[in-house]
Copies of this chain bind each other. A is one copy, B any other.
Amino acid sequence: MILTVTLNAALDVTYEVDALVPRGSHRVRAVHERAGGKGVNVARVLSALGTPATVTGLAGGPTGQLVRDELRTAGLRDELVPMAGDSRRTVTVVSRDDGDATVFNQPGPHVDRAAWADFAARFARLVREAAVVVLSGSLPPGLPSDAYARLVRTAAAAGASTVLDTSGPALTAALAAGPTVVKPNTAEIADVTGHEDVVAAAEALRARGAQAVVASRGPEGLYAVTPDGAWRATPPRRLSGNPTGAGDACVAALAASLASGEPWPVRLREAVALSAAAVPCPMAGDVDRDIYDQFRTTVSVENTHASDIH
């Protein structure tokens, strides 16, 4: 079982409008709501591929209830832990005229000590069933900055691997706990390490404790530095679209191939193919099966030396 953690779960709301006009008053033509947050998206992708995934994290209030109801509708196992505040929403305004999306992210409620303690206890129980734990997204207000470090240590003690997809201080603080894989994108890795160069930055994260670093280079693919070697994985062609969905699909592929014990070149090929399959889908958590099937045989994976990648 793969366990995905979403500490700042959200109700993702999409508003379809004819066209976005700043300072205008818009009639919303259609409203779509579903459970969101990066860990939920990862679980949705895993479930679509037939890999059992369990969703845990924190959710509260009437919005949290809507998140949980939708998880059940989607057939995902809901192990979210209640908290006192009302879960956040994200609102994405999509223009019907050009398909452009404009996103508004609420910050999420403050998490108190009691909710964090409840979550830690639930996590310690769930992790015993998990082969891989996915830790995705920002930390909500109120949590200690080393929250992910603590969860990585609990997972490791239970024998589970960890895939960490976060940024800033939450990423920095987690490195010393030795996550199995961290998956920053080029902006996040530069922010945390101060290195613009992806190779130097990935090596710096490894030096600080990450066992493997998979750096997302957007439409150019992935660069990975691992205990088994370094690779560059490149898609056969570029696709443009939804970058959030691509990142979450990449994590889903890394988690699934880690769980099934595939070697790194296979993990990276799967990750690039599944990322590409998410790019044309407007909603994060969805993937295009045709693109996935086509890309997983055509992604190029090359063993590299640091000097090859710039």
Q: Give the size range of A's interface with the partner.
A: 20 to 34
Chain A positions 79 through 115: 1 when the CB is less than 8 Å from some CB of chain B, otherwise 0: 0000000000001010000001111111100000000
CB distance from A87 to the nearest CB of B (A): 12
- Look across to chain B and name the residue whose beta carbon is closest to the beta carbon of A26: B104
- Look across to chain B and name the residue whose beta carbon is closest to the beta carbon of A98: B23
Q: Which of B28, B62, B100 makes the CB contact (< 8 A) with A104?
A: B28
Does A22 lie within 8 Å of B100, measured CB to CB? yes
Compute how far the CA of A69 lies from the CA of B255 in the bound complex, rounded to whole angstroms: 43
- Look across to chain B and name the residue whose beta carbon is closest to the beta carbon of A101: B23
- Look across to chain B and name the residue whose beta carbon is closest to the beta carbon of A27: B105
A-B contact pairs, 15 of them (CB 8 A): A15-B91, A17-B104, A20-B22, A22-B100, A22-B102, A23-B102, A25-B102, A25-B103, A25-B105, A27-B107, A28-B106, A62-B62, A62-B65, A91-B104, A93-B104
Chain B residues near A24: list those with CB within 8 A: 102-103
Compute how far the CA of A26 lies from the CA of B22 in the bound complex, rounded to whole angstroms: 14
- Please give the count of copies of this chain that the complex contains: 2
Chain A interface residues (CB < 8 Å from chain B):
15, 17, 20-29, 31, 62-63, 65-66, 91, 93, 100-107
CB distance from A175 to the nearest CB of B (A): 25
Chain B residues near A105: list those with CB within 8 A: 25-28
Q: Which of B29, B91, B100, B101 makes the CB contact (< 8 A) with A91?
A: B91
Does A104 lie within 8 Å of B22, measured CB to CB? no
Compute how far the CA of A71 lies from the CA of B101 in the bound complex, rounded to whole angstroms: 34
Compute how far the CA of A113 lies from the CA of B17 in the bound complex, rounded to whole angstroms: 29
Compute how far the CA of A21 lies from the CA of B66 in the bound complex, rounded to whole angstroms: 29
Chain B residues near A66: list those with CB within 8 A: 62
CB distance from A65 to the nearest CB of B (A): 7
Compute how far the CA of A20 lies from the CA of B22 in the bound complex, rounded to whole angstroms: 7
Chain B residues near A101: list those with CB within 8 A: 23
CB distance from A73 to the nearest CB of B (A): 15
Chain B residues near A15: list those with CB within 8 A: 91, 104, 106
CB distance from A96 to the nearest CB of B (A): 14
CB distance from A71 to the nearest CB of B (A): 16
- Look across to chain B and name the residue whose beta carbon is closest to the beta carbon of A103: B25
Beyond A15-B91, A21-B102, 10 additional pairs, beta carbon < 8 A: A15-B104, A20-B102, A22-B102, A23-B102, A28-B104, A29-B107, A31-B106, A62-B63, A62-B66, A91-B91
CB distance from A284 to the nearest CB of B (A): 12
- Look across to chain B and name the residue whose beta carbon is closest to the beta carbon of A100: B23
- Look across to chain B and name the residue whose beta carbon is closest to the beta carbon of A25: B103
